[in-house]
Amino acid sequence: MKLAYWPGCVSRGFTTELHGSMAIVAEQLGIELVELDRANCCGAGIIAEHNQELADTLNARTFALAQQTGLAMMNICSTCQGAQSECQQRLDADSAYRAHINEVLSGQGLSYEKGKDGFTNKNFLWLLVEDYGLDRLADLVKRPLTGLRVGPFYGCYVVRPKDRLGYDEYPDRDLYLEQVIEVLGGEVVEYDGARKCCGFPVITMNRDTSLRQAGTHIGDALDAGADCLVTPCPLCHLNLDMQQPEAAKIVNRDLGLAVLHLPQLVALALGAEPKELGMKRHIASTKWVEERIAPVAAA
């Protein structure tokens, strides 16, 4: 499997451990990644607040760069998925609008063509379940996460709105994290916040709202007995992990729950060591998780 790979900004910024872990897990899975290093930020919905046409053009450029490779596109960020899907929905809805946007790109020898070579843009979670296959993944598990109680945390942008995110075709996209956790041998922890908002989008605008959301979900997961959370979204990771000590102050309780990036959890089950996955960089200690997972079986 070979993919045009958009790592997003945050995986190369405050969560470099995600970028590194994705490289490791890709090798474990036998996926070849062609990194789109000329592509630009998805705008995270914020550039669209300034100028929607600008956001659509910037993302059309990324899609066009991916289409030049002739490969399907993969991202590793729920927010990239949501922001890019939003622009793609508008671009795909109307050929005149698409042509209007492509006029700007044509000066750069680029063009986004709807459905060219069956073009898709899927985040790692969707791709793992829909294209790679859970059976294949199961065969590669070297260290089943037996006894590890994992709370899924999706990130809004891969859950809603349903009609934009392909739920007609793939109705179980909001259950994939549970499916992956189980295939890796872990135990799914059900708690209220799994599909709610981490609060990150308003961290600079209303810190109390933002951290109260993060703190509440972490607390709920702890109450449900979670050993850790897993998320396919690095922006959720920023609020749930990096801001966790601050969130604890806002909700006025002790937290201390490890938050893993999805590629880290998969890589662990496929035999990678916590050290190479950059888990030391996390703010909330991952020590408890490291203690609970077994050494890789010799067999």
Partner 1 sequence: MAAYTLKVRRFQPETGEGPYWEEFDVDLDPSLSVLDGLLQARDRDDGSLSVRCSCRAAICGSCGMKINGQSGLGCKTQIGEAQEKADKFSHASSGEEEALPTGDGPAPIVVEPMGNQPVIKDLITDMESTHWAKIRRVTPWLLPHGDPPEREYVVEPESMIDITQSMACIQCGACVSSCLSMEVDPDFIGPAALAKAYRFVGDPRDAETKERLHDLAFDPHGIYDCTHCFSCIDACPKGVAPMDQIMRLRRRAIEEGVEGDPNNGANHVHAFTKMIEKKGTNDEALLIQETYAPGIKGKLKPTKSAIKGLVNSLPTVLRAIKTGKARSLPKLIPGVHPKLPDGAQDEVKAIYAHAEDHREEFNIYISGEEDVVPEPDETVEEEA
Footprint (CB under 8 A) of partner 1, residues 47-66: 47-54, 56-58, 61
Q: How far is the CB of 146 from partner 1 (least distance, A)?
A: 18
The closest alpha carbon to 111, from 120, 103, 122, belongs to: 103
| Binding status of residue 125 toward partner 1 by CB under 8 A | no
- CA 296, CA 293: separation in Å to the nearest integer? 9
| Binding status of residue 280 toward partner 1 by CB under 8 A | yes
Q: How far is the CB of 204 from partner 1 (least distance, A)?
A: 5
Give the DSSP H or E segment for 32: strand 32-35
47: amino acid identity, one letter? I
Please provide residue 33's backbone torsions phi and psi, each rounded to the nearest 5 degrees: -110, 125
| Binding status of residue 209 toward partner 1 by CB under 8 A | yes
| Binding status of residue 138 toward partner 1 by CB under 8 A | no
Give the DSSP H or E segment for 4: strand 2-6
The closest alpha carbon to 266, from 78, 130, 136, 121, belongs to: 136
In the set 15, 21, 85, 123, which binds partner 1 (CB under 8 A)?
15
E strands, 232-289, are 258-261
Q: How far is the CB of 256 from partner 1 (least distance, A)?
A: 13
- CA 40, CA 293: separation in Å to the nearest integer? 38
| Binding status of residue 118 toward partner 1 by CB under 8 A | no
| Binding status of residue 70 toward partner 1 by CB under 8 A | no
| Binding status of residue 37 toward partner 1 by CB under 8 A | yes
For 84-128, the DSSP string reads: HHHHHHHHHH-HHHHHHHHHHHHTTT----TTGGG--EEEHHHHI
| Binding status of residue 75 toward partner 1 by CB under 8 A | no
In the set 21, 88, 123, 216, which binds partner 1 (CB under 8 A)?
216
- CA 185, CA 60: separation in Å to the nearest integer? 39
| Binding status of residue 85 toward partner 1 by CB under 8 A | no
> Of the two residues 50 and 298, which places its CB atom closer to partner 1 in the complex?
50
Q: How far is the CB of 296 from partner 1 (least distance, A)?
A: 25
Total residues contacting partner 1 (rule CB under 8 A)? 78
Residues 156-175, interacting with partner 1 (CB under 8 A): 156-157, 159-162, 171-172, 175
Q: How far is the CB of 187 from partner 1 (least distance, A)?
A: 10
